[in-house]
Amino acid sequence: MNPTTGLQLLLVAGGAIAVAAVARRRGWPAPLLLVAAGLLVSPLVPPVPLDPELVLYVFLPPLLYSAALDSSYLRLREVTRHVALLSVGLVLVTMLAVGYVVHLMLPELPLAAAFALGAIIAPPDAVAAVAVGRRLGLPRRPLTILIGESLFNDATALTAYRVAIGAAVGGTVDLLDAVGEFVYAAAVGVAIGLALAFVSAWLFRHTRDSLVENTLMLLIPFAAYLAAESVHASGVISVVIVGLYLGHQMHLRGFGTRLLSTSVWKVADFFLETIVFALIGLQLVTVIQGVEGYGAGEVALYALVVFLVTVLVRFAWVFPTAYLLRLLGRGRPAAAPAHITVVSWAGMRGVVSLAAAFAIPESVEGRSMLLLLTFTTVIGTLLVQGLSFPVLIKRLGVSSERERYEDTLAEANAQHAALGAGLEVLERLTEKEGEPDEIRKQVIDQLREKSWRRTLAAWERLGGGTGRDGAETPSSLYRRLRREMLQAEREVFVRLRDERRLDDEVMREVMAQLDFEEAILER
């Protein structure tokens, strides 16, 4: 990377963070605003290159790993068949449908190149859909299906893409070889992911250092991706497997590792996603300049047809397979039509599609048109589906309100059970150590009071967080007054630091203690 490109990416990152900050403050979907901003700015700035290797080897691994780390292995296991039908079946059906339609519209394009386009735009990127869905209270099951699909569909699409590009360059393809390549890529990717997961877990058991463990976690997605790709296996599957395993085992790590991990990956996700979505919009001029020999009306028609085929194929696949799974479910509750509609409409494409399109060899006939159709499909799905997604959720009345109530009830019961276990240990230790003196008795009373206060908070949330006649509950009162006290304490520490009566390092240590306490109050 030369200095000019590095400076461009730095400016893109700074501008993208500023746009994302505005979106977060206004409550707007940041990915969509970033794409729109990129489209508007693209004609006004020098072309910003989208390096496929930068996307696939630098951006993709940590984003996949973070999503897998934050996912629920147990919930994903419950929707395995749904995820498999979407991440494998739908990807292949979309590839075939788009490929044939594009070949009919543009017969001069080789069929293999048309299939490559289908593979490129087949996998949705659920980042925008999941972000909007969580904010608007989308129920857990459709969210889990969308997350699972986004974790695994890139593996299918990239393998199919390699096969199609190989056929476009070499001229022939053996279907049996293609199936064998897919099975090999998936199986070896899983094996490498599990092996690295076991090794990482062993290292973490012997490290017991939150800073070292989180630094290792930053390396794991790159190690998994590169290890798999170096033997022509699926780096995507390898990263997802190791992320799911370590995320499921996160309770075995120390509290410091968990606290730090949450912060680290929130920052990493925010930083990478802002750059990625801004880069999508900034490719407008680069993509348009490469297309020659076609009229604007022709290009618009081709783009519209590919967009419609991509969207309609998803509907045509999701609804029948959802009802098929209902028949095979053996008594499991059927998915609500509203939930199926939401999953069908959540087909926004992302930067992986664009990166794969930019990676098409120059020797492939019609490369510029393939790149343009990829770009228009990505932009179309992000803006059309992305902007209408919140409206759809509200119109269908899809809500997780019942789930939130059940979660709070389950938490209250769990807190009550945990309180009993904790107090039992406290009483046993107290009896073992004999009659406490006055100071020890005060400490024991404080421990009992803190345990009761924490378990009562969950029961209070079941009542909406207020007491009788809307009065402030004891827990709410405690949190409000304690926050005021903490702020007063901070002001004293800062004043003493400014008066040179307290060292900066000491102030940071005590500030961290106050911050941890306030973080607990927020819970």
Give residue-wise pLDDT tens across range 420-446.
777 788 777 777 776 667 777 777 777
User: What pLDDT sits at residue 477?
Assistant: 72
Instruction: Please count the other Cβ atoms lying within 10 Å of the Cβ belonging to residue 360.
Output: 24
The domain boundary, picked from 378, 399, 420, lies at 399
**Residue at 7 is within a domain:** no
pLDDT of residue 460: 65
Do 387 and 417 have their domain in common? Answer: no
Q: In this structure, is residue 310 part of a structural domain? A: yes
On whether both 412 and 476 belong to a single domain, the answer is no
In this prediction, residue 503 carries a pLDDT of 80
Q: Considering the domain boundaries, does residue 385 fall inside one?
A: yes
Greatest C-alpha distance within the chain:
93
What value does the mean pLDDT take over residues 128-141?
75
501 — phi, psi (to 5°)? -100, 0
Question: Of 374, 399, 424, which residue constitutes the final position of a domain?
Answer: 399
pLDDT digits (tens, 9 = 90+) for 46-74: 888 888 999 999 999 999 999 899 888 88
Q: Residue 409 pLDDT more than 80?
A: no
Rounded Cα distance, 419 and 461, in Å: 17
- Better pLDDT: 426 or 391: 391
Same domain for 345 and 360?
Answer: yes
Which pair of tokens denotes residue 320?
A: 């029948």
**Amino acid (1-letter code) at residue 303:** A
| 152 occurs within a structural domain | yes
* 19 belongs to a structural domain: no
Specify whether 356 is located in the same domain as 454.
no
Residue where one domain finishes, among candidates 423, 445, 465: 465
What was the pLDDT predicted at 134?
72
475 in a structural domain = yes
Residues 406 and 391 in one domain: no
Structure tokens belonging to residue 264: 């680290």
pLDDT band at 169 (very low <50, low <70, confident <90, very high): confident
The pTM for the full model equals 0.85
Question: Are residue 242 and residue 277 in the same domain, yes or no?
Answer: yes
Q: Are residues 174 and 249 in the same domain?
A: yes
Position 470 confidence tier, pLDDT thresholds 50, 70, 90: low
Residues 173 and 245 in one domain: yes
Read off the CATH number of the domain in which 187 is found. 1.20.1530.20
Residue 266: inside a domain = yes
For residues 299-314, b (16+ Cβ closer than 10 Å) or e, as one string? Answer: beebbebbbebbbebb
- Give the range among 34-48, 71-85, 218-232, 246-260 with minimum mean pLDDT: 246-260
Which of 67-71, 140-144, 512-516 has the weakest average pLDDT?
512-516
Q: Of the ranges 149-153, 369-373, 486-490, which one carries the lowest mean pLDDT score?
A: 486-490
The answer to whether 409 and 372 have CB atoms below 8 angstroms apart is no
Same-domain status, 218 and 185 = yes
**Segment 207-216, tens digit of pLDDT:** 888 899 999 9
Could you tell me how far CA 461 lies from the centroid of its own chain?
28
- State which amino acid sits at residue 202: W
Q: What are phi and psi of 466, to 5 degrees?
A: -130, 160
16 in any annotated domain: no
Same domain, 65 and 167: yes
What domain range is 487 assigned to? Answer: 469-523
Do 291 and 413 lie in one domain? The reply is no
Overall number of domains in the chain: 3
Query: 144 and 75 in one domain?
Result: yes
pLDDT, residue 386, reads 87
Residue 249 sits at φ, ψ, to 5 deg, of -100, 10
Percent of the chain with pLDDT over 90: 46
Per-residue exposure over 1-14, b if at least 16 CB sit within 10 Å of its own CB, e if not = eeeeeeebbeebbe
Beta partners for residue 149, in sequence order: none
